[in-house]
Amino acid sequence: MPEPRYQLRPIGRIEISGDTACLRIDEPFRPALEGLAEFGHVVVLFWCHLTDTDELRGLLTCERPYTKGPESLGVFATRSPARPNPIGITPVPIMRLDMAEGAIEVPYIDAENGTPILDLKPYEPSLDRIRNIRTPSWRAHWPEWNEDSAMFDWSSEFNF
């Protein structure tokens, strides 16, 4: 029995130049932005196009993906872009949204310039905001809030 496959198409691209980042939504999809700007944050789903290779999509474990973490971790225990279905997810603050231009200005986004965008969702606290967290001891020194990440020195934390 052939394995099912599902098809995705990009709805836009991430534009990064200098200190500015923009989610550029393709013209046909711009009506779908109506009402999004009332939310403070948008969850961006993007296609990790640089890791969309058979080899990287076949990786199931990572060797010490986090410098202070365990020797090996399954990819589903990481946020590595190399994974069977290379979809990245990150919530980002909405600074300005221009429906006519299909432009959402964001202060930053942890993705490469030109990355295809797959979907946008409002950051909905009743789903996405967890009060009581439990995390592994190896990442106990990391921030417990998105807002505190900007002040944290991430430079020596990742091996990917």
According to CB under 8 A, which residues from 105 to 144 bind a second copy?
Answer: 116, 118-137, 139, 142-144
Does 41 help bind a second copy (rule: CB under 8 A)? yes
Q: Please identify which residue in 53, 67, 85, 113 interacts with a second copy, judged by CB under 8 A.
A: 85
Collect all residues with Cβ–Cβ distance below 8 Å to 151 and sequence separation of at least 6. 143
Which residues in 62-81 contact a second copy (CB under 8 A)?
A: 70, 72-79
Q: Please identify which residue in 16, 56, 105, 146 interacts with a second copy, judged by CB under 8 A.
A: 146
Spatial distance between the Cα atoms of 61 and 65, rounded to a whole number of angstroms:
9
Spatial distance between the Cα atoms of 140 and 15, rounded to a whole number of angstroms:
33
Shortest reach from residue 106's CB to a second copy, in Å: 14
Does 56 help bind a second copy (rule: CB under 8 A)? no
Q: Please identify which residue in 33, 82, 106, 109 interacts with a second copy, judged by CB under 8 A.
A: 33
Collect all residues with Cβ–Cβ distance below 8 Å to 11 and sequence separation of at least 6. 25, 26, 29, 32, 117, 118, 119, 120
Shortest reach from residue 18's CB to a second copy, in Å: 23
Q: Do residues 48 and 118 lie in contact, with contact meaning Cβ atoms separated by under 8 Å? A: no
